[in-house]
Amino acid sequence: MKNLLGLLVFATFASSFSVSAQQDPQYTQYMYNTVAINPAYAGNRGVMSIVGLHRSQWVGLEGAPRTQSLSVHSPIGEGKVGLGLSIVNDGLGPADETYVGADFSYTINTSDEGKLSFGLKAGGHILDVDFTQLNLLNNSDPLFAQNIDNRISPIIGVGLYYHTDNFYVGLSAPNLLATDHFDVSNNSNASSFVAQERIHYYGILGYTFDLSDQLKFKPSTLVKAVAGAPLQVDLTANFLLFEKLHAGVAYRWSAAMSALLGFQVSDSVLVGLAYDRETTDLGDTTYNDGSFEVFLRFELFNEYDRMLTPRFF
C-alpha cells in the first residue's frame, strides 16, 4: 500500500514539474503568518513580530508535504517603513525547497483610520531534488540521472496591504519570476526542464466585529490563483474570547475542513494549532490522518507602544 501512496505523491510531484501547477506552501493559519505571502505587511503590527510555523500535511501518506517557516518583521523609525525577513522550507517527496526573502514596506495614511502599505520582497530560492528516493520504472531515463543540488534562482515579489482598526485587505505576488530549473534540452529549437516556478497571486480580506466587550468575531478569506491549478479559496470564521482564546473553523473550497485554536499566553506570546481534514477522496482515514499546523508568535514591545488589547490581525 505504501508503494501505491508513494506513486500518488510522485504523481503530484511530477505534475507540478511538467505543467503549470500550485507550488507555494499551504497555510491554514495564514492570518497569523501574513508577511510570508505579502511583503507589504512587514511592520504593520507596530512592534517587532517573530512567527515560527510548522505544517505536516496528509500525515501517514509517504512523501507528503511538510513546511517550516520563520519570519521576523518590524516597523522602523516613525513606523512608515517596515523591514522583515522570511525563511520557508517546503518539502514534497524527493524535492526540498528553501525560500529566503527580505521584505520592505512603506505605509501612507489614507484617512484618520486607514493605512495603505506598499511592499517589495527580494531574495532567493534553493531547490534540491533527490531522484534516488523514487522507484523509477525506467532507471535509464536521463531526466532522472542526475540529482538537483542547491539550484539557486532569484525571487522578486510585490504586495499591497490596506487596513483600518477593524478591516484589512491585501493583494500580493510573492515571486514574479517564472524560473526554469535544470534545463536539460539538447535541442536549440526546444526547451525542457525538470521544474518551473509559476507566479502565485494572493488576495486576503478580513473584518473584525465587536460582538461584546469580551467577544470578537473575524471572518476572513484567502484566495490563491496560479496558472494550471484550480482557484483556491479559504473561508475562515475566527472568534477571540476574553482577549485570550482564539477559536475558529475554516473551509478550503472543495478540498478541506479545518479547526483552529490559539491562546494568548501573554501580551507577547501567542500559540496556535490547526487541524485539516480533506473532503476529497484523499481524506480516507485508512491512508491519511489529516494535516496538522502549529505556530508560535513572539512580539517585542516597548513600554510606550504596548497594545492595550491583542491585535486580531
- pLDDT tens digit string along 174-205? 999 876 654 554 444 444 454 566 789 999 99
Contact 204, 231 (CB under 8 A): no
pLDDT of residue 230: 86
Complete domains list, the chain, with CATH: 25-175+197-300 (2.40.160.40)
Per run of 10 residues, the mean pLDDT along the chain (length 313 residues) is 39 38 77 93 94 92 89 92 95 88 96 95 90 71 72 93 95 85 47 64 96 95 89 95 95 93 94 93 76 95 54 73
pLDDT of residue 306: 53
pLDDT of residue 285: 67
Neighbouring residues of 290: CB distance < 8 A, sequence distance ≥ 6: 58, 59, 275, 276, 277, 278, 283
User: 10 Å Cβ neighbour count for 125?
Assistant: 20
Neighbouring residues of 40: CB distance < 8 A, sequence distance ≥ 6: 105, 117, 118, 119, 159, 160, 161, 170, 172
β pairing state of 209-212 and 193-196: unpaired
pLDDT of residue 120: 97
Buried b (16+ CB within 10 A) or exposed e, 24-42: bbbbbbbbbbbbbbbbbbb
Phi and psi (nearest 5°) for 18? -90, -20
pLDDT of residue 35: 94
pLDDT of residue 106: 97
pLDDT of residue 20: 38
